[in-house]
Structure 1
Amino acid sequence: MEWLVGPLHEAGFRVVALDHHGNNFIDGYEPEGFLHVWERPRDVSFVLDVLAGEQPIGPIGVAGFSLGGYTAVALAGVRVDPQVLWAVMTGAVPLPEIPEFPGALEALKKKYPLDESLRHVLNGAGADFSDPRVRAVFQVAPGVGGLVTRESLATVQVPVGIRWGGADTVNPYEIDTRPYLDHIPGASGCSAGPDVRHEDFFMPEPARAGVRARVGREAATFFEQHLA
């Protein structure tokens, strides 16, 4: 994520990047790290609590790529729908393949039987994980847009900037980005390019290396405007 951290740091922001449990290159992958998405905003709030205990931290912006895009807006009040999540877990609604963790859903089912215990866990997924300290959000190729409630999207009261790739087949615009763009009152954004893929934001040698550098600069400009 250097392409995002670098421009923010150069703009004078203090930047903190998180290694979410079960979904990072240090500790490895667990299916919960990809499918228990509602745990991620709680990670961010925990880190903010720690930082606030050390020194004043000022206005806060959250930027996220892919699943991190959902994480960012969850901190502004967006909630997932437990009923839709249950449908995904049971196979009633197909789950797109996760490139980093093929078979994540099958791995989760081996750990948690499809019974009332799992349903109880999913009911907690619809809780409000908003953090009032978050003043602005920037999403890049966001995910989970098809799993969130339209009612919660309408409650977001902070500015939200969005960028996406026109050739993204991992988090397609119509399914994952458009719900955020259309139903968050303060959302605005644009495509990073008609041929830009999801992979162009994280591959070591992407086909369009200049795209993510440009989006990183646009994120810095966005936060300069809304966190000044």
Structure 2
Amino acid sequence: MRTLRLAATLVFGLTVMVSVRGGLAATTTYEVGESSRVFKPGHARNWRGAKTQALVATIWYPANADGTLYEEPQVIGPPDMPLFLAGGAVLNAPIASSQVKFPVVMLSHGTGGSAMQLAWLGTVLARHGYIAVGVNHPGNNALEPYTAEGFVLWWERATDISDALDGLMTDSTFGPHVDEGRIGAAGFSIGGYTVLELAGARTDQERFLKACQTDPTLHKCVVPEMKNMGDPEQMLAKVRASSAESMARGGASYRDARVKAVFAIAPAVGQAFAPDGFREVTIPVAMVVGAADPIAPVATNAGRFLALMPDAHLTVLPDGVAHYTFLDTCTDVGRAKLGVFCGDAAGVDREKVHATVSAMAVKFFDKNLK
């Protein structure tokens, strides 16, 4: 049955890529508002050596579509030479008054990235009536210096999302508009791992480390974002010395009962999950990955997760879709400067892939949250 379902989702992925271009526009209800917040949890927490001891978040949300608001293109990088296109939004627009409360989707970026790298998804969710909240993970985001702890203490990312959700609910602007019974989460790469943890999955980092010791050249052991961080053993030694308390609870549950459904894009670190690591996952889970992904290959990551979660769903996008296809669309400057992060295979249209996956996410969350 699982083989049949996977085959069906492959076909579905192809179908959506052809049809979704007009479909999303036809169902547009809201203009997209964009704002930012700095959440400072009142309790002690692990900041992973980050310079900024706060959770910096980008929020996309439904804005009033009354003809007075005009979305403007958003970018990542210098305004005169941007590296990525980050969708369209109205900065600090008033939240839509057409309904009192909206469902929420918390977003977790990939290792070394940023919340804005999921703008392609956040803006579409907002257009379809969701408050989408992307969190910059401390020590592991592109807006400040990386730390070894930020790369090694993966499970702390789940605490970032839970604390940012706390902050959202008490925010004077957005809090009153949060439907507390309709909350989901979506993430890319190690962010896909993060949302699986929020769903109740547990990891065993030692399993992952043993796989890396067997073959240190594996893509999952040394990703491009870590190239200036030293080798994995050096990083691990530093983190064991600085963060023994966090290391000791790496296998704990980080289930957030407020999260009712998760959507994982190219989820990574598959070797860190033991066969029983998903036994506590009882909420709906959907995954999508590119067939040509060398960083989080289907067989050892999402495909393995599917085998351990019989009720989950997996879509594999064919025809050269790889890992970094799920980053924002690159500009010509970005393609010239950023190499692998912008280097899609011939014939891959990153914006079409984004349209496919964002349509899948909207459909998934509509079904499971609305």
C-alpha displacement of 1:36:
1.3
C-alpha displacement of 1:12:
0.1
Name the structure 2 match of 1:20. Answer: 137
Aligned-partner SS, 1:153: coil
User: Contact between 1:81 and 1:148, CA under 8 Å: does it hold in 2?
Assistant: yes
What are the within-5 Å matches in structure 2 for residues 105-184 of structure 1? Answer: 106=231, 109=234, 112=237, 121-184=246-309
Moved over 4 A (4+): 113-121
Residues matched between the structures, number: 227
Task: Give, as a single letter, the amino acid of the residue that structure 1 aligns with 2:361.
Answer: A
Name the structure 1 match of 2:109. Answer: none
Structure in which a larger fraction of residues adopt helix: 1
Provide closer, same or farther for how the CA distance between residues 115 and 7 of structure 1 changes in structure 2, counting only shifts above 3 A. Answer: closer
Please tell me whether Structure 1 or Structure 2 has the larger radius of gyration of its CA atoms: 2
Name the structure 2 match of 1:220. Answer: 362
What are the within-5 Å matches in structure 2 for residues 1-228 of structure 1? Answer: 1-54=118-171, 55=175, 57=178, 58=180, 59-87=182-210, 91-92=213-214, 94=216, 96=219, 97-102=222-227, 104=229, 106=231, 109=234, 112=237, 121-202=246-327, 204=330, 206=344, 207-209=348-350, 210-228=352-370
C-alpha displacement of 1:86:
5.0
User: Contact between 2:153 and 2:246, CA under 8 Å: does it hold in 1?
Assistant: no
Q: Structure 2: state its 5+ residue gaps.
A: 1-117, 332-343
- Asked which structure has the greater RCO (Cα within 8 Å, sep 6+), the reply is 1
C-alpha displacement of 1:120:
6.1
Answer with 46-55 or 128-137: which moved more. Answer: 46-55
Answer with 13-22 or 115-124: which moved more. Answer: 115-124
Identity percentage of aligned residues: 33
Provide closer, same or farther for how the CA distance between residues 115 and 226 of structure 1 changes in structure 2, counting only shifts above 3 A. Answer: closer
Separation of aligned partners in 1, 2:312 and 2:209: 28
User: Contact between 1:155 and 1:184, CA under 8 Å: does it hold in 2?
Assistant: no
User: Contact between 1:67 and 1:143, CA under 8 Å: does it hold in 2?
Assistant: yes
Separation of aligned partners in 2, 1:85 and 1:198: 19
Provide closer, same or farther for how the CA distance between residues 148 and 93 of structure 1 changes in structure 2, counting only shifts above 3 A. Answer: farther
Separation of aligned partners in 2, 1:164 and 1:16: 22
Under a length normalisation based on structure 2, what TM-score does the superposition of the two structures give?
A: 0.56
C-alpha displacement of 1:105:
5.6
User: Contact between 2:206 and 2:272, CA under 8 Å: does it hold in 1?
Assistant: no
Provide closer, same or farther for how the CA distance between residues 134 and 100 of structure 1 changes in structure 2, counting only shifts above 3 A. Answer: same
Separation of aligned partners in 2, 1:35 and 1:105: 12
Under a length normalisation based on structure 1, what TM-score does the superposition of the two structures give?
A: 0.88
Answer with 114-123 or 140-149: which moved more. Answer: 114-123
Answer with 106-115 or 194-203: which moved more. Answer: 106-115
Provide closer, same or farther for how the CA distance between residues 144 and 182 of structure 1 changes in structure 2, counting only shifts above 3 A. Answer: same
Aligned-partner SS, 2:224: coil
C-alpha displacement of 1:85:
4.5
C-alpha displacement of 1:160:
0.6
Provide closer, same or farther for how the CA distance between residues 120 and 198 of structure 1 changes in structure 2, counting only shifts above 3 A. Answer: same
Provide closer, same or farther for how the CA distance between residues 139 and 32 of structure 1 changes in structure 2, counting only shifts above 3 A. Answer: same
User: Contact between 2:152 and 2:236, CA under 8 Å: does it hold in 1?
Assistant: no
User: Contact between 1:76 and 1:156, CA under 8 Å: does it hold in 2?
Assistant: yes
C-alpha displacement of 1:99:
1.5
Q: Structure 1: state its 5+ residue gaps.
A: none
Aligned-partner SS, 1:164: strand
Provide closer, same or farther for how the CA distance between residues 110 and 179 of structure 1 changes in structure 2, counting only shifts above 3 A. Answer: closer
